Amino acid sequence: MFGLMVRFTCKDESAATAFDELVARTGEQIRANEPGTVIYTVHRVDGRPLERIFYELYRDAAAFEAHEAQEYVRVFLEARGQYLASVEVDRLDFVAGKGVDGEQ
């Protein structure tokens, strides 16, 4: 299991709206085309309307690399910068949990 938690802070409310639209388009493609992506969720942060949290779990590092190689992900990575004030990325090592199988 390979995971990421990413915190995005948008520049302003209109940037947040446009970023959410970009995320929605990209998410449709991820759901349709990535069997190795176990969880890909996007959350608004309560009380901080410009922040978004992505929580991503991949079957393994190879599934993450396959995700990153997709054209729609590359488009997302190029386009997101115009909407964002900051990005923080944490790589996660799976220990235990409910709802996912940590075995590789």
Rounded percentage of the chain residues whose pLDDT exceeds 70: 96
Handedness of CA 87, 71, 69, 5 (dihedral sign): positive
Contacts of 84 (CB under 8 A, 6+ apart): 8, 9, 10, 11, 15, 19
For 21-59, write each residue's pLDDT tens digit: 999 999 999 999 999 999 999 999 999 999 999 999 999
CA distance 94 to 58: 10
Q: Please give the class, per CATH, of domain 2-92.
A: alpha beta
Confidence of residue 100 (pLDDT cuts 50, 70, 90): confident
Q: Residue ranges of the domains in the chain?
A: 2-92
CA distance 87 to 9: 7
CB 10 within 8 A of CB 85: yes
For 68-81, write each residue's pLDDT tens digit: 999 999 999 999 99
